[in-house]
Structure 1
Amino acid sequence: MRDPGSTAMTATQTPLDSAPRNHDWIHRAPAQDGVERIEAFFQHNGYALHRHDTYAIGCTLAGVQSFHYRRSVRNSLPGGTMVLHPDEAHDGQAGTDEGFRYRMIYVEPALFQAALGGKPLPFIEGGLSDDPRLAAATQALLQGIDRAMDPLEQDDALFDLAHALDAVSGARPLRASADFRAAQLARDYLHGALERPVTLDELAAASGRDRWSLSRDFRAFFGTSPHRYLTMRRLDAARQSMLGGMALVDAAAAAGFADQSHMTRHFVSAYGVTPSRWLRMLKAQTR
């Protein structure tokens, strides 16, 4: 559920009748350094089943936010915290006729790894938590969504959130042989190859790790496969081009996709909406 407003607010201060009722909308805060923050309103269905390679952490401000996650239907209410693990399939829809409004932050697993030092990625069973430590750490990042956060403020808040997640989660154990440094080298290599095909043999050579061990380590530390990671970075680039006014076909080519339909398939798989609908929802909030 990638995708919320104004000044800081709590669930009790955000009645649904203050949200636009005739259309769905998304408001994106200025993206910065591996973090995306949004506020959104949906009257009925928000997102089709999809998965992305970031953590999605947030709170429902008003209404009931329902989603399928790990073979069950979850219902997020104001006061709790949603924590969706990277690469876990989920969707999003209103649990009542009134619709729902929520805020969410999307964090690259590498940022949490920087704070946790190569520990297992935190995992919140069921995707919902009532733990006050997690709620407080999340709220610090979801305040003032209309402005970019001060870089030091963001780093401090991410550190606190990483450790709150680690404290609350049932962490999955890592294999003793897992190589964090090799996974980091492979990730760096992918960032330098966004516009061309990459093989697992290339990544293995760049990281000094055999290909299958590297593939397992990459998933353990960054929450997704090398190929999915590369595809998501290309989608990030395509979204930036679209926001700058570039036509979809040109954005697809510039980001390294074979054509517009190739990009659209990956876009829907990652975000649960088509590129054109995503752009319409962003424009709807500014009217």
Structure 2
Amino acid sequence: MGTPVASGSQPEPIRRALPPGLERSCGGDRLTLAPPGDGLPRLEGAFSGRAYGPHRHDSYALGVTLAGVQGFRYRGAWTASTPGRLMVLHPDEVHDGEAGTAGGFRYRMVYLAPHRVAAALGARARGLPFVRVPVSGDPRLALAVGAAVADLDHPLEPLARDQVVMTLAEALLALDPSAARGGRTAPTCPRAVEQARAFLEAHCTRRVDATDLEAVTGLDRYTLARQFRARLGTSPYRYLTLRRLDRARAALWRGAPLADAACGAGFADQSHMTRQFTRTYGLPPGRWRALAGGAGAADLSRPGRGRRSTTE
């Protein structure tokens, strides 16, 4: 890391997996979101200049650059992805995004929750795979990412989703053999972590206290926090915040005013949601909806009267 990744020809697995038309050049800034509902957020983006400010996700961000030079800062170094190269960003790692050339860049990305990786790998892994090199041309990863982002027009059917999760998880484990069972790390408590995760997801719109999680899991708050991060790659509070943001994004997409989206998702107020949203996605919520095409984005000052557009 630290220097741009050399460009290379687009891997054959990516060429086979993507439908016709994805070789067009980058246009104006935009986000195209796959329909929600399959549990695997997917998108296509096109940007010129500065794309995203520093932000982080509680999921793996796995993607492929389709056109241009996609630059980003990650783990203290700047690197770049070129057409056909694959990207792997670990949960909770700060990164940004910018065009490496005047022509901009275009990419597709899938966001894979750590608990899905853990479930798919089961006893084969002792922890979350960590891929140290964020940009590669690994053919196994190319097949997995290509299958995940090939069709953004429809949700993945359940069996297809399960297959995508499995192939992505196995590709990650292959790129980090040290995560395979047998290494020297403290054992995790998968049942307790899953209980905490499910509780946070079910109660994300209300205040959740550490005593709630202690009662659910039987672990003290500090042990649970360590176990949660070891297995899911982030803290319980950040996981709770991300679930609130999931609800806020869905409401914004439907055209809800920012204040209503914030209240319905469990945030203290609109400014609280805006800060968390921008910190997480690198864009304020109005900008996200304008780019992604959510309802009401054409006239954010008069909710419900604009044409369909997006802001994340």
Structures share a fold, TM > 0.5?
A: yes
Change (3 A) 1:72 1:170: farther
Q: Distance in 2 between matches of 1:223 and 1:53?
A: 7
Rounded Cα–Cα distance in structure 2 between residues aligned with 1:171 and 1:243: 40
In structure 2, distance between residues paired with 1:176 and 1:167: 21
How high is the TM-score relative to the length of structure 2? 0.84
Alignment correspondent of 1:117: 122
Corresponding position: 1:31 with 2:36? yes
Q: 1:276 aligns to what?
A: 286
Q: Secondary structure at the match of 1:35?
A: coil
Q: CA deviation at 1:194?
A: 1.2
AA matched with 2:257:
A
Offset of residue 126 of structure 1: 2.9
Structure 2 match to 1:195: 205
Q: Percent identity?
A: 46
Give the 3 Å change call, closer, same or farther, for CA 174–9 of structure 1 in structure 2: farther
Does the alignment pair 1:46 with 2:51?
yes
More displaced stretch, 25-34 vs 263-272: 25-34
1:60 aligned partner, one-letter code: T
In structure 1, the gaps of 5 or more residues are: 1-6
Q: Does 1:65 align with 2:70?
A: yes
Mapping for residues 228-239 of structure 1, pairs under 5 Å: 228-239=238-249
Aligned AA for 2:122?
Answer: G
> Paired residue for 1:144?
151
* Contact kept? 1:179, 1:217, Cα under 8 Å: yes
Task: State the shift of 1:130 in Å.
Answer: 1.9
Does 2:140 correspond to 1:133?
A: yes
**Residue 15 of structure 1 pairs with residue 24 of structure 2:** yes
| 3-state SS of paired residue (2:241) | helix
Report the number of matched residues: 276
More moved, 67-76 vs 150-159:
150-159
Shift of 1:205: 1.8
Q: CA RMSD in A?
A: 2.0
Q: Which moved more, 1:102-111 or 1:92-101?
A: 102-111
**Cα displacement string for residues 125-172 of structure 1 (whole angstroms, at most 9, x for unaligned residues):** 031222111111111111122222222111112111111110112545
The answer for the alignment partner of 2:9 in structure 1 is none
After the TM superposition, which residues 143-222 of structure 1 pair with which residues of structure 2 at under 5 Å, given as runs?
143-171=150-178, 175-222=185-232
Higher RCO, Cα 8 Å, sep 6+: 1
Return the offset for 1:8.
2.9
Matched, 1:261 2:266: no
State the one-letter code of the partner of 2:171: A
TM superposition shift of 1:276:
0.5
Secondary structure of 2:73's aligned partner: strand
Query: Does structure 2 conserve the Cα–Cα contact (< 8 Å) formed by 1:30 and 1:147?
Result: yes
1:88 equivalent in alignment to 2:93: yes
**AA aligned opposite 2:142:** A
